[in-house]
Structure 1
Amino acid sequence: MKNRHFKKSKKWICVTIIIFMLILDISSKYWITKYIQLYETKKIFSILNLFHIHNYGAAFSLLSQQRGWEIWFLSIVSILTILIATRIIIKSNNKEIKKIIAYSFIIAGAIGNLINRIIYGFVIDFIDLHIHNWHFATFNIADCSIFLGIIILVRTNY
């Protein structure tokens, strides 16, 4: 009986994280497209801007200069990531809650960016961290979710 309860709670943890992160990601991208023009910058803090751009590639705009095949390739990679992470969660040991949480964040981020690729053919990015004139790659909430999931996985394994 106890094991069955945990399986249900494991599902709810996954579903809750994924839905919460998707709502955050989709609503933030909607807000950016509604209130900030493409290539417009809004200063938030001395190290943070909102900068609306469209990323046709992957992280750090990798593959963004290609001619269309990258959308399909990156969509397939996202789908495979979602399927593999889901399988890992399903097969995970009941005591591996950090691992389950980590993969839930990764799934949420992959779904958020996949939705953009399917609807628009690009991903909406807008978080611009910088120190003076040095700018880190512009990213979004889905990317943060994937990054957080990876950090939790690394911390869990060490």
Structure 2
Amino acid sequence: MTKPLCSTGLRWLWLAALVIIMDLGSKFLIMGNFQLGESMPLIPYLNLFYAQNHGAAFSFLADKGGWQRWFFAVIALVIVIALIVLMYRSNAKQKINNIAYAMIIGGALGNLFDRMVHGYVIDFIDFYVNDWHYPTFNLADSFICIGAVLVVIEGFIAKPTSAAKSKG
């Protein structure tokens, strides 16, 4: 017997769509208003800086000749499919995990879009302290990290055991 989709975690996929829209919209604005390598201070410790990342996180494997584009695309698709399956198997009331999965899915698809359309991921958030700069990143990366933190936090939240459920 199949369950209605609105009762599953897939109910939260609207959040993944919102993440994709925010991510791609911000990248579109950066590409349309900045030259590659151009920087603009926003507030202390934060610049907008247009960069192209041909690798993965922190430009990992960026200089390896192009095969990494397809490798990271496959990894993103596998992760998205796995998370969609987890969301389908979960209850819509499991908010933290489903929100986390949706954020990760949206971020992964936003970066996958860049990788497939441009051949690289557009990064533009430059956090720094004095002369030290954190690797440039984007909104998709931020949502992926927030989603991962939420998954970890959810792992620490005590869930009622079946014995406790039967007593109450």
RMSD: 1.6
Any idea what the Cα deviations from partners look like across 1:87-112, whole Å, max 9, x if unmatched? 11111144422111110000000000
1:63 counterpart letter in structure 2: L
User: Is residue 99 of structure 2 the alignment partner of residue 101 of structure 1?
Assistant: yes
Q: Which residue of 2 aligns with 1:135?
A: 133
Q: Which residue of 2 aligns with 1:82?
A: 80
Q: Secondary structure at the match of 2:70?
A: helix
Q: Which moves more between the two structures, 90-99 or 118-127?
A: 90-99
Percent of counterpart pairs with the same letter?
Answer: 35
After the TM superposition, list the runs of 4 or more consecutive aligned residues in structure 1 that deviate by more than 3 angstroms. Answer: 3-6
Check 1:5–1:78 CA distance in 2 against 1; reply closer, same or farther (3 A cut).
closer
Larger Rg: 2
Task: Structure 1: give runs of 5+ residues left out of the alignment.
Answer: none
Task: Structure 2: give runs of 5+ residues left out of the alignment.
Answer: 157-168
1:11 counterpart letter in structure 2: L
Query: What is the CA–CA distance in structure 2 between the aligned matches of 1:84 and 1:5, rounded to whole Å?
Result: 17
Q: Which residue of 1 aligns with 2:57?
A: 59
Any idea what the Cα deviations from partners look like across 1:117-141, whole Å, max 9, x if unmatched? 0001100000000011100010001
Q: Which residue of 1 aligns with 2:160?
A: none
Q: Secondary structure at the match of 1:128?
A: strand
Q: 1:68 aligns with which of 54, 57, 66?
A: 66
Q: Secondary structure at the match of 1:39?
A: coil
User: Is residue 154 of structure 2 the alignment partner of residue 156 of structure 1?
Assistant: yes
CA contact (8 A) 2:69 2:119 kept: yes
User: Is residue 110 of structure 2 the alignment partner of residue 112 of structure 1?
Assistant: yes
Q: Which residue of 1 aligns with 2:43?
A: 45
Check 1:74–1:4 CA distance in 2 against 1; reply closer, same or farther (3 A cut).
closer
Q: Which residue of 1 aligns with 2:16?
A: 18
CA contact (8 A) 2:11 2:92 kept: no
- Structure 1 residue 83: deviation in Å? 0.4
* TM-score, scaled relative to structure 2: 0.87
- Structure 1 residue 6: deviation in Å? 5.5
* TM-score, scaled relative to structure 1: 0.92
Q: Which residue of 2 aligns with 1:28?
A: 26
2:127 counterpart letter in structure 1: L
